[in-house]
Homo-oligomer: A and B are copies of this chain.
Amino acid sequence: MKEIKNQQVEKLVEMVKGVRVCMLITNEQNVENLSGRPMSISKIDEDGAIWFFTKASSPKVDEIEESKKVSIAITNENSNNYLMIHGTATLVNDKSKMKELWSTIMKAWFPLGLDDPDMTLIKIIPDEVNYWDSSSSKMVVLFNLLKAIITGKEYAEGDHGKINL
């Protein structure tokens, strides 16, 4: 099981490598106010969690406090990677984690660096990862945690389905 999970996280990391910008979608509980904004992924860790830096004062932080269900849309034409990730977000206000994830690119948004008091991390644990295989144009469910819980088969191999154009 653990090995399959590792392979899936590796596959996720591989597909997202080189993607600078994704669309982070929040406020999904409120159909009239669903919102999205381009974001830069800081890291996908060994558990498959996706990390972002954000300003603690930004509206999306309030939205995540309100509802933890979020999605990430990736449409990278250069690498031909198309992913739709549904997950659960938490806010992580941990200086040592910030230090670990920090890169100088972040200075564009946080000129004060790690001393910026208006900084927090968003950690998104994917519940479901769908990607579109470029060679076959088919949708692949990389993993579906909810389905895994229901069926008792944790991190089963990817399901294949036709791309629903």
Residues of A near any B CB (own CB < 8 A) = 19-23, 25, 28-29, 31-32, 34-39, 53-55, 58-60, 67, 69, 71, 73-78, 82, 84, 86, 108-109, 130, 132, 137, 139, 163-165
Contacts and interface: CB of A to CB of B under 8 A. Distances in A.
Contact of A164 (B29, B55, B163): B55
A132 B23 CA distance: 11
Nearest to A27: B31
Kindly report how many copies of this chain are found in the complex they form together: 2
Nearest to A132: B38
A83 B130 CA distance: 21
Nearest to A55: B165
B55 A86 contact: no
Nearest to A53: B165
Nearest to A161: B59
30 contacts: A21-B77, A22-B75, A23-B74, A23-B75, A23-B82, A25-B25, A25-B34, A25-B71, A25-B73, A28-B28, A28-B34, A29-B31, A31-B67, A36-B71, A36-B73, A37-B164, A37-B165, A38-B75, A39-B165, A53-B165, A55-B165, A58-B164, A59-B164, A73-B73, A73-B75, A75-B75, A76-B77, A77-B78, A108-B137, A109-B165
